[in-house]
Amino acid sequence: MPNNPVPNKTDETQTEAVEQTPVHVDHLIANGELAAENAWCVSYDADALPEQRPAFVPLALWQANQEDAELAPLLTSDTELTAELGKQLGNAPAIAIDFPAFTDGRGYSIARLLRERYGYSGEVRAVGDVLVDQLEYMRRCGFTAMALRDDQHPEDALRALSFFSVRYQPDVEERQALFERRLADNK
Amino acid sequence: MYRYDIHDQTLVDERVAQFRDQMERYRAGRLGEEEFRPLRLQNGLYIQRHAPMLRIAIPYGMLAGNQLRALAEITRRYDRGYGHFTTRQNLQLNWPALEDVPDILADLAKVQMHAIQTSGNCIRNTTSDQFAGIANDEVEDPRPWCELIRQWSTLHPEFAYLPRKFKIAVSGAAQDRAAIQVHDIGLRLWHNADGELRVKVLAGGGLGRTPMIADVVREDLPWQHLLTYLEACVRVYNQFGRRDNKFKARIKILVKALGIEEFRRRVEEEWAHLKDGPQTLNQAAVDAAKVHFPEPDRRPVAESANEDFDRLRAENRSFARFVTNNVTDHKVPGYKAVTLSLKRREHAPGDVTADQMEAVADLADRYSFGEVRVTHEQNLVLSDVPVDELEALWKELEALGMANPTVGTLNDIICCPGGDYCSLANAVSIPIAQALQERFEDLDFLYDLGPLDLNISGCMNACGHHHVGHIGILGVDKKGEEFYQISIGGNSTDDASLGKILGPSFFRSDVPDVVEKVLEVYVSQRHEDERFLDTYRRIGLKPFKERVYA
């Protein structure tokens, strides 16, 4: 496998490399476990389909090639999830949401909207700058798969998913706010 | 005040374990500097000029005596025996060792405290009125609502990586003492004509580099929808706030760029989906929060006590000064709220030693039901003191050096840590405060000036709220030298306004002279009983400018 560039970094050489090479990460966390297999690659090239399959490709490319069941949409973090798009994405076999930088929190809102507003039930995968310490929030927002940045340790990732047993807010995993559950407990 | 149940306690304990793991990975080189940064910030940990700085959350400014004692112990064990109360009602430690921070957080958790989200690009500690629950102009006690917001915002999975920090303030009284118009979101609790509780929602206020007064998003939100509406506001901000330039990333820039109508439209559109959803509040949930803020068991105070109090006030000038400036009327006859001044020349504004913390905790136990409040003016409040014990308390505060009868005067300076501590600062601020306190220490002069807010920030991040000081002082850096820009006419309360810059900046040594000239203009031009702010508003900047630059 060639050197995996960090996706969406503005460094010129990397940008070029990203356009050429679909990204295939070493470690994928799926449904809370280290996945044995990771068939999907991620292609950031907006103009051409990659040769590898299955592949996440930029939204417009997926929209133009929906008949190919081995393609799935890759949403950039600035994707505006309109009702029309939300409905269309219901047909996708899986959806990847890109984190161009781990500090870009837009992907969390996109994932929640896909799950809670548009009822998407397939895999929602975090790709890009995906770090161990973001996984817990990602899972709560509806991500079922996280493709770790290559320098991340999978054992750290699994541990990071296990720290919390309490949450105040309702989220994709838990539909009741803690204040509601407390009231139910006291009845 | 709010007491943790098993859920709250488990959450802070688990948070400590998580941060300990992160710190270990950082120290072992498994977690890079850049990756660790937002994690430590969201646990209150900054890397500062001399040492790390830890900012401890004091939710809406409420502290129990045992918590204050624990803080004293923490400052002794892990720091240099003092702490700094901030303008956002938090406490900062200036000298903790990096590797000790997980242990400090564990010690905090033992007394139901934490440092969660006191920094970083997330929803910060919610602030409120220091006289919540006791003010005689109060419509609704904001504290239960602040607690509901605290829980909603704590470890919110969607909003940990916002474009920039996000601050919420809540007021439930006729007079705004929480500066809600200069917060990312300001909330005002009020009753409509039918006596129903409504929430006025403001957005886009703030200080910093681009100071702005907030716009009204919604005048009359029914209380049931508070959390879903907040969620809609923050979601719109998370999705559309600028991320390309950190100086344009606050919600105020988004609100101004879209215009309040378009911002409101997007929030309402988002909210239409969330309304009546799982975070909708009901009476039982609000009542459960209110249980934590009961009326204390106040003993009846004899009518004669008020007469004795009035007589003492007439006889003893020092006591009278203290009462006039540091004692606030209470909704319950026979009780008063007492403000402990943390503005003394020998300390930086807002600084308290461990011994003083313990002494205050002791006073709180004996005079005010064991509770202390932190004000955004960086003072402390004992909220429930019977009038027949005021004199005794005053004497104890005198002995402690916390009875400075200057609350609300020019001497009650709001001030950030500045260049002495903070790595962001362009200039020092504490020595400026001290120089001014030294120059203007004559009490008769201070009282003659009347209510006067003087606020100092060491850089344009504006932690010292200089934009909303009647007189504001901002440290600026010009080619490596410290200068100070002075503005006039800011105000953080109901008729909020931003100060206007007087003109070119000054040398540090000139600041007291310049302030003195500004005060001279006020004294010579004021109408009888006119506040500094009102004189300025009447005569404008020009007379001040002419005098200062003459």
Put simply, the answer to whether B160 touches A137 (Cβ < 8 Å) is yes
**Are B103 and B148 members of one domain?**
no
**B142 and B261 together in one domain:** yes
Whether B295 is covered by a domain: the verdict is no
Contact A141 B154 (CB under 8 A): no
Backbone angles phi, psi at B546, to 5 degrees: -60, -40
User: B381: distance to nearest CA of chain A, Å?
Assistant: 30
Kindly determine whether residue A108 and residue B161, on different chains, have CB atoms separated by under 8 Å.
yes
Q: Do B278 and B327 belong together in one domain?
A: no
- DSSP3 helix / strand / coil % (chain B, rounded to 5): 45, 20, 40
pLDDT value at residue A7: 45
DSSP codes, chain A: -PPPPPTT---HHHHHHHHHS-B--S-EEETTEE-S----EE---SSS--SSSSEEEEHHHHHHTTT-TTEEEEE-TT----HHHHHHGGG-SEEEEEESSTT-THHHHHHHIIIIIT---SEEEEEES--GGGHHHHHHTT--EEE--TTS-HHHHHHHTTS-S--SS--SS--S-HHHHHHHHH-
- Of B244, B265, B290, the residue that ends a domain is B290
Task: Give the pLDDT of residue A20.
Answer: 56
Interface check A10 vs B, CB under 8 A? no
Give B-chain residues touching A104 at CB under 8 angstroms: 161, 243
Assigned domain for B125 exists: no
Task: Supply the range of the domain harboring residue B82.
Answer: 6-110
pLDDT of residue B301: 95
* Mutation target among B35, B145, B164, B286 for the A interface, most CBs of A within 10 A: B35
**B400, B433, B458 - which closes a domain:** B400
A133 touches chain B (CB under 8 A): yes
pLDDT at B421: 84
Residue A72 covered by a domain: yes
DSSP single-letter state for residue B295:
P
Distance (Å) of CA A9 to CA A13, A17, B240, B379: 10, 11, 21, 47
Of B198, B205, B195, the closest CA to residue B168 belongs to B205
CATH number of the domain residue B386 falls in: 3.90.480.20
Residue A4 pLDDT > 50? no
Please report whether residue A2 resides in a domain. Answer: no
> What is each CA distance from A114 to A68, A86, A158, B255, in whole angstroms?
22, 7, 25, 26
Nearest chain A residue to B25 by CA: give it: A156
Q: What's the rounded Cα separation, in Å, for the pair B457 and B475?
A: 6
- The answer to whether residue A97 sits within a structural domain is yes
Best residue of A8, A102, A103, A124 to probe chain B, by most B CBs closer than 10 Å:
A103
Q: Does B38 touch chain A (CB under 8 A)?
A: yes
Q: Give the burial class of B444: count Cβ atoms within 10 A of its Cβ; 0-12 exposed, 13-18 middle, 19 or more buried.
A: exposed
ipTM for the complex? Answer: 0.91
**Full domain range(s) for residue A81:** 12-162
At B139, which CATH number?
Answer: 3.30.413.10
A9, with CB counted inside 10 A (0-12, 13-18, 19+), is middle
Residue B298 within a domain: no
Residue A168 contacts B, CB cutoff 8 Å = yes
Q: Closest to A156 (Cβ–Cβ): which among B5, B30, B121?
A: B30
Specify whether the CB–CB gap between A177 and B279 falls below 8 A.
yes
Same-domain pairing of B145 and B276: yes
Asked if residue B407 belongs to a domain, the reply is no
| Residue A183, in any domain of the structure | no
Q: How many domains does chain A have?
A: 1
- Quick one: pLDDT at residue A9? 41
Q: Are residues B274 and B162 in the same domain?
A: yes
Same domain, B282 and B168: yes
Cβ neighbours, 10 Å, residue A173: 12
Question: What residue type is A103 in one-letter code?
Answer: T
Instruction: Inspect the interface and report whether the beta carbons of B278 and A108 lie closer than 8 Å.
Output: no
The 3-state DSSP class for residue B76 equals helix
Q: Indicate if B477 and B527 belong to the same structural domain.
A: yes
In a domain, B450, yes or no: yes
Q: pLDDT truncated to tens, each residue of chain B (550 aa)?
A: 999 999 999 999 999 999 999 999 999 999 999 999 999 999 999 987 677 999 999 999 999 999 999 999 999 999 999 999 998 889 999 889 999 999 999 999 999 999 999 999 999 999 999 999 999 999 999 999 999 999 999 999 999 999 999 999 999 999 999 999 999 999 999 999 999 999 999 999 998 888 999 999 999 999 999 999 999 999 999 999 999 999 999 999 999 999 999 999 999 999 999 999 999 999 999 999 999 999 999 999 999 999 999 999 999 999 999 999 999 999 999 999 999 999 987 788 899 999 999 999 999 999 999 999 999 899 999 999 999 999 999 999 999 999 999 999 999 999 998 988 888 889 999 999 999 999 998 999 999 999 999 999 999 989 899 999 999 999 999 888 899 999 999 998 888 899 999 999 999 999 999 999 999 999 999 998 899 999 999 999 999 999 999 8
B278 touches chain A (CB under 8 A): yes
Q: How far is A89 from chain B (nearest CA, A)?
A: 19
| Residue B126 within a domain | no
Q: Are B452 and B500 found together in one domain?
A: yes
Does any domain span residue B33?
A: yes
pTM for the full model? 0.93
Confirm or reject contact between B275 and chain A (CB < 8 A).
no
Residue B10: DSSP 8-state? H
Residues of chain A with C-beta less than 8 angstroms from the C-beta of B152? 168-169, 177
On whether residue A173 sits in a domain, the answer given is: no
A155 contacts chain B (CB < 8 A): no
User: Does A25 map to a domain?
Assistant: yes
**Can you read off the two tokens belonging to residue B6?**
């098993």
The answer to the question of residue A155 being in a domain is: yes
Beta bridge partners, B56, equal B91
Residue of A nearest to B282 (CA): A180
Is the pLDDT at A134 greater than 70? The verdict is yes
Nearest CB to A178; choose among B7, B14, B17? B7
User: Each residue of A7-28: pLDDT tens digit?
Assistant: 444 444 444 444 457 888 889 9
Q: Which of A105, A141, A165 sits opposite B14 (nearest CB)?
A: A165
Considering B248, B269, B290, which residue would you say is the last residue of a domain?
A: B290
Same domain, B327 and B441: no
Q: Answer yes or no: do A179 and B30 touch at CB < 8 A.
A: no
Instruction: Determine the residue among B4, B15, B31, B161 to mutate to test chain A binding: the one whose Cβ has the most chain A Cβ atoms within 10 Å.
Output: B161
Kind and range of the H or E element at B340?
Answer: strand B335-340
For chain B, the domain total comes to 4
Read off the pLDDT band of A38 (50, 70, 90). Answer: confident
Say whether residue B316 is in contact with chain A using an 8 A CB cutoff.
no
Same domain, B19 and B105: yes
Which chain B positions have a beta carbon within 8 Å of A163's beta carbon?
A: 14-15, 17-18, 21
Residue B342 counted as domain residue: yes
- pLDDT reported for residue A5: 40
Answer yes or no: is A105 within a domain. Answer: yes
Are residues B267 and B314 both part of a single domain?
no
Cβ distance of A106 and B239 shorter than 8 Å: yes
Cβ separation A108–B38 shorter than 8 A: no
Kindly determine whether residue A169 and residue B121, on different chains, have CB atoms separated by under 8 Å: no
Distance of CA B383 to the CA centre of its chain: 17
Shortest CA gap B142–chain A (Å): 18
Q: Of B176, B259, B266, which Cα lies nearest the Cα of B229? A: B266
Looking at beta carbons, which residues of chain A come within 8 Å of B158? 105, 108-109, 112, 137, 141, 171
What are A58-94's pLDDT values in tens digits? 999 999 999 999 999 999 999 999 999 999 999 999 9
